[in-house]
Amino acid sequence: MNGIRKLIDGINWFTDRIVARIFAWMILGLMLLILADVITRYLPFMRPLAMSDEFGGYALVAITMGGLGYAWHQGYHVKVEFFLNMIPPKVAWMLTTITTVVAFGFTLIITYAAWEHIQQAFLFKTRSNSWMRTVVAYPQLSMIIGLILLDLQLLAEVLDRLFMGRGKSVPATAEKGATETALVAE
């Protein structure tokens, strides 16, 4: 169990410390690119940066895909808890655990499909339609990176739920006090 705890903590540390900072710097770079484009557009005798639209789009996709795992870790994904609040806590925990395992399996399948798609782009040397003719497989790698980060975060949550019992604590009965928590009996 100690090894699983270290793995979970390592994934969470990587997401919080490394991934968050990388994508924060990418957001700053995207902002500077857009600022440079706006400035060059309105200066006399200058034209807007031709590359800003294409690279800005690639950066936006990379930031979005990279942020999936971070958003999952922080609990920022949309959740509908209306029905979970109406059922017993143990059943709610079981349903949440099952849906997390299903989400993990789904993202593994999506990651594999994205990998196959990118392999095709490399194989056929697919290029963008812009004047830059960018090999699209390289920017598309951000999809794989983002999905792998999401896969890691889902793996950490599945391990945490199944082996460490996360999410099993529920409010105790009134006799034990409203502020205490008790583990749900399995």
Instruction: Write out pLDDT tens, residues 148-163.
Output: 999 999 999 999 999 8
The Cβ-side half-sphere exposure at 69, using a 13 Å CA radius, reads: 32
Q: Which domain holds residue 95?
A: 2-183
The Cβ-side half-sphere exposure at 160, using a 13 Å CA radius, reads: 20
3-class DSSP string for 169-183: EEECCHHHCCCCEEE
Total of domains in the chain = 1
Measured between alpha carbons, how far is 52 from 37 in angstroms, rounded to an integer?
6
Instruction: Write out pLDDT tens, residues 119-178.
Output: 999 999 989 888 888 888 899 999 999 999 999 999 999 999 998 887 655 433 333 333
Q: pTM above the 0.95 mark?
A: no
